[in-house]
Structure 1
Amino acid sequence: MPFYAIDGLRPVVHPSAYVHPTAVLIGDVIVGPNCYIAPGASLRGDFGRLVLEEGSNLQDNCTMHGFPGTDTVIEVDGHIGHGAVLHGCRVGRNALVGMNCVVMDGAVVGESAIIAACAFVKAGQEIPARTLAAGIPAKVLRDLSEEEIAWKQAGTRDYQNLALRSARSMVEVRPLTEMEEGRPRYEGGEAKPKN
């Protein structure tokens, strides 16, 4: 796995976290329990500290970075969608940053907030707890319902389970040349044969 020390600072990864072998972690990176880091993620702790707190996930091709002396933090159960960029910001507990978002230096995404896909959260901007923000630049559109927050929590639990599934069963293989008869399909829980 590509883990790199710089200036003597080595990444720290809790044993219950899953980091895909194609993710890159450099320097001052702290990955807490039950986290999931997906393929192609880049966590460059070569200037500021990068922290993923318990149960958070960073999906495919995301980038985390920051300026010297800053912390970039994903709090407990934070959920970062594919292709997002986090730079010197804080993503609150149980918040979701959608696919291809950019969250800039000093920005704070409040607890249980949702940032819609492709949004741009400006430097220093604060997104209040339990709100939906969207756009370029991001604007708060409305408060979130209990159902929307529950939907987000369920999605995060899926990624916490994916960390367990990946640690238990993901291995590098050669592809098959044809689809086998009765090929299993993942339908939640374990892969099951299709009837």
Structure 2
Amino acid sequence: MQFEHLGVRPRIHPEAVVAPTAVISGDVTIGPGAQVLHGAVITAEGGAITLGENVIVMENALVRATSVNPVHIGDHVLVGPMASISGATIADEVFLATGTRVFNGAKIGVRSEVRINAVVHLRTVLPPETLVPIGWVAVGDPVQILSPERHDEIQAAQRELDFPGYVFGLDRETPDLMVQLTERYGRGLARHAHDVQIG
């Protein structure tokens, strides 16, 4: 299904293939030879999304742009099943395995691999040809690649990256943080009420 969102329709190259159960919404450009499989959701929430040539977005993956962080996915990238990309830049020839999570402002260098259930955190920069092992967390710039049992180090690095401030414009110490966050985010998402299905 395709939707016009905020007055912008997806642009899909005639040589791309989009499954009928995939959702493509808003300012999305999909390049030649790209494949978007069943259940994938590619949604431009006020920022553009560009998929290059021969990109494969597998089943139930999510690609989401924001007004602050557009998404660019280079050529010959594979986005695995149930992977999630939010507001990130992915260079050419990158492999994002099943269940990977890539957060706002992250940049993944050419020919990098992010393996099953690994995380590339907010504003993290992976140099070219970086490998993030299964279940590990990449965080920061310069990047630290940490095993999940190093939770204290991951948490310390995350705190400096300021997820609520960077993504939602809210101070982490706000007493009613989740009240403000959900109300603000909900107002933004409510703009989908005016979407128009076009295909």
TM-score (norm 1): 0.68
RMSD of aligned residue pairs (Cα, Å): 1.4
Structure 1 equivalent of residue 19 of structure 2: 20
Structure 1 stretches lacking a partner, 5+ long: 142-195
What CA distance in whole angstroms lies between the structure 2 residues aligned with 1:6 and 1:43? 12
Q: How far 1:4 sits from its partner (Å)?
A: 0.6
Structure 2 equivalent of residue 32 of structure 1: 31
Structure 1 equivalent of residue 137 of structure 2: 137
Q: How far 1:140 sits from its partner (Å)?
A: 4.3
Q: Is the 8 A contact 2:108 2:127 kept in 1?
A: yes
Query: Residues 96-123 of structure 1: CA distance to partner in whole angstroms, max 9, x if unpaired?
Result: 1111011001111110000011011111
Q: Is the 8 A contact 1:29 1:49 kept in 2?
A: yes
In the TM superposition, 1:56-135 aligns within 5 A as 56-134=55-133, 135=135
Identity of aligned residues (%): 27
What CA distance in whole angstroms lies between the structure 2 residues aligned with 1:112 and 1:59? 18
Name the aligned partner's letter for residue 132 of structure 1: L
Point out the structure with the larger strand share.
1
Structure 1 equivalent of residue 49 of structure 2: 50
What CA distance in whole angstroms lies between the structure 2 residues aligned with 1:25 and 1:104? 20
Larger radius of gyration: 1
Name the aligned partner's letter for residue 34 of structure 1: G
Q: Is the 8 A contact 1:88 1:106 kept in 2?
A: yes
TM-score (norm 2): 0.67
Secondary structure at 1:77 match in 2: coil
Q: How far 1:136 sits from its partner (Å)?
A: 4.0
Name the aligned partner's letter for residue 37 of structure 1: V
What CA distance in whole angstroms lies between the structure 2 residues aligned with 1:140 and 1:17? 35
Name the aligned partner's letter for residue 97 of structure 2: G
Q: Which consecutive segments of 4 or more residues in structure 1 shift more than 3 A?
A: none
Q: Is the 8 A contact 1:47 1:65 kept in 2?
A: no
Q: Is the 8 A contact 2:75 2:92 kept in 1?
A: yes
What CA distance in whole angstroms lies between the structure 2 residues aligned with 1:13 and 1:140? 36
In the TM superposition, 1:145-156 aligns within 5 A as none
Q: Is the 8 A contact 1:127 1:140 kept in 2?
A: no
Q: Is the 8 A contact 1:98 1:115 kept in 2?
A: yes
